[in-house]
Amino acid sequence: MNASSEVVVVGGGVVGAALTYYLAKSGARVTLMERDSPGAGVSGASFGYVNAAQKRPEHYHRLSRLGVEAYDALEKELGPDSGLGPRGGLLWPEPGSLGGQKMEALVEELRQWQYPFELLTPDEAAQVEPGIRVAGVDNSILYLPYERWVEGNLLAAALVSRARDYGAKVMVPCSALKILHHSGAVDGVSMSEGSLPADTVIVAAGTGSVGLLAPLGYHLPLERVVGVLGITSPLPCLLRGVAYPGAYHVRPTHEGRIVIGAQEVDRLADEHTDVSTPPSWAGRLLQMAQLDMPGLEGLRLEEVWLGVRPMPADRLPIIGRVPGIEGVYVAVMHSGITLASIVGQALSTEVITGERAAFLEPYRPDRAFPAKTKT
């Protein structure tokens, strides 16, 4: 890429916002196109746990770990508006022998991989999080000192705002309609009114990436996986970090609300479920969390968020040059919150200098994907 090259990033979720930020910071001429507002996609409806402990296989755990670590520097760069919460996550097993076995296996693996953790008793865990009372668990509460939460909409907005300071152009709201190319190389992006010339286009449009890449002959193997979260009204300081017992997960917001998610509740919704007022089945989220957090008793959910995860067919990120057309890149992943900063840094370096980070090699778009998605 030379100094006059124009880069367009499509999508202002955490992934596209991070790419725009690191490109602009490195001096690239970059324009972000976002059809709604930064963080308005799934990034703003995410649980937002920046985590690595439960990521498999090992190379993905290691990438996620780089993702967790990358937020230390980014937090200093973005300052108090970054949306990042304090460090420290607690994990404990689901009741029953299977939960215990899973936890033992996890602890053994983390030891082998030298991932920082401590094992706590319930009393020790209550010192970390006074609002939590874990029952029926001995000393197998995992404390993860570097894992943390972030509010995706705030992070995306902060990244876009700093990217602007570094000279990025931001087109919001602006829908990219088509990636334009000529003689096998990209030459722009069309919008409802006209087109924007580009030497490089990075598609970071979450679930919207499929439709932008298909006309180029690249079938992005993406599944749409619905997730719901229940949100309480603001409470006086009930929780600082993330708590992730097997059956559900909770974290606070900067306003003191509690965000609760659970896989069993995700299955009760689809993309068309109306969550404008909290459906009665969402009350199950509060029931689960109340068992370990007495301070939630008597509360009701104030809001329910519904998001559609951009889930690659093999569950691993898809990052890098799209085969076929020169100058087109893609960055789509689940766990985009965990990975936004490290992927933003590594892919922006690749686009500018051609230098490929070894840790991104397992995630290239031209790898073989399973014919059927895993369930």
Ligand X SMILES: Cc1cc2nc3c(=O)[nH]c(=O)nc-3n(C[C@H](O)[C@H](O)[C@H](O)COP(=O)(O)OP(=O)(O)OC[C@H]3O[C@@H](n4cnc5c(N)ncnc54)[C@H](O)[C@@H]3O)c2cc1C
Q: Which residues bind ligand X (CB under 6 A)?
A: 10-16, 33-36, 40-43, 45-49, 152, 175-176, 204-206, 208, 212, 227, 229, 261, 307, 309-310, 332-338
Of residues 103 and 212, the one with the C-beta less far from ligand X:
212
Of residues 31 and 140, the one with the C-beta less far from ligand X:
31
Of residues 122 and 210, the one with the C-beta less far from ligand X:
210
Q: Which residue has the tokens 């093999």?
A: 314
What is the closest distance, in whole angstroms, from the C-beta atom of residue 289 to ligand X in the complex? 15
What is the closest distance, in whole angstroms, from the C-beta atom of residue 137 to ligand X in the complex? 22
Of residues 10 and 352, the one with the C-beta less far from ligand X:
10
Of residues 49 and 143, the one with the C-beta less far from ligand X:
49
What is the closest distance, in whole angstroms, from the C-beta atom of residue 340 to ligand X in the complex? 7
What is the closest distance, in whole angstroms, from the C-beta atom of residue 14 to ligand X in the complex? 5
Backbone φ, ψ for residue 354 (5° rounding): 85, -5
Q: Estimate to the nearest angstrom the gap between the alpha carbon of 206 and the chain centroid.
A: 10
What is the closest distance, in whole angstroms, from the C-beta atom of residue 2 to ligand X in the complex? 26
What is the closest distance, in whole angstroms, from the C-beta atom of residue 16 to ligand X in the complex? 5
Of residues 238 and 339, the one with the C-beta less far from ligand X:
339
Of residues 25 and 55, the one with the C-beta less far from ligand X:
55
Of residues 63 and 103, the one with the C-beta less far from ligand X:
63
What is the closest distance, in whole angstroms, from the C-beta atom of residue 229 to ligand X in the complex? 5
Of residues 34 and 292, the one with the C-beta less far from ligand X:
34
What is the closest distance, in whole angstroms, from the C-beta atom of residue 354 to ligand X in the complex? 24
Which 3-state string (H, E, C) describes the chain? CCCCCEEEEECCCHHHHHHHHHHHHCCCEEEEECCCCCCCCHHHHCCCEECCCCCCCHHHHHHHHHHHHHHHHHHHHHHHHCCEEEEEEEEECCCCHHHHHHHHHHHHHHHHCCCCCEEECHHHHHHHCCCCCCCCCCCCEEEEEEEEEECHHHHHHHHHHHHHHCCCEEECCCCEEEEEEECCEEEEEEECCCEEECCEEEECCHHHHHHHHHHHCCCCCEEEEEEEEEEECCCCCCCCCEEEECCCEEEECCCCCEEEECHHHHCCCCCCCCCCCCCHHHHHHHHHHHCCCHHHCCCCEEEEEEEEEEEECCCCCEEEECCCCECEEEEECCCHHHHHHHHHHHHHHHHHHCCCCHHHHHHCCCCCCCCCCCC
Radius of gyration over every alpha carbon of the chain, rounded to an integer in angstroms? 21
What is the closest distance, in whole angstroms, from the C-beta atom of residue 225 to ligand X in the complex? 8
**Pairing between strand 176-182 and 258-261?**
unpaired
**Distance set, CA 132 to CA 117, 240, 250, 296 (Å):** 19, 11, 11, 10
Q: How far apart are CA 346 and CA 348, in angstroms?
A: 6
Beta bridge partners of residue 110, listed in sequence order: none
**Pairing between strand 301-312 and 6-10?**
unpaired
Of residues 42 and 296, the one with the C-beta less far from ligand X:
42
Residue with nearest beta carbon to ligand X: 13
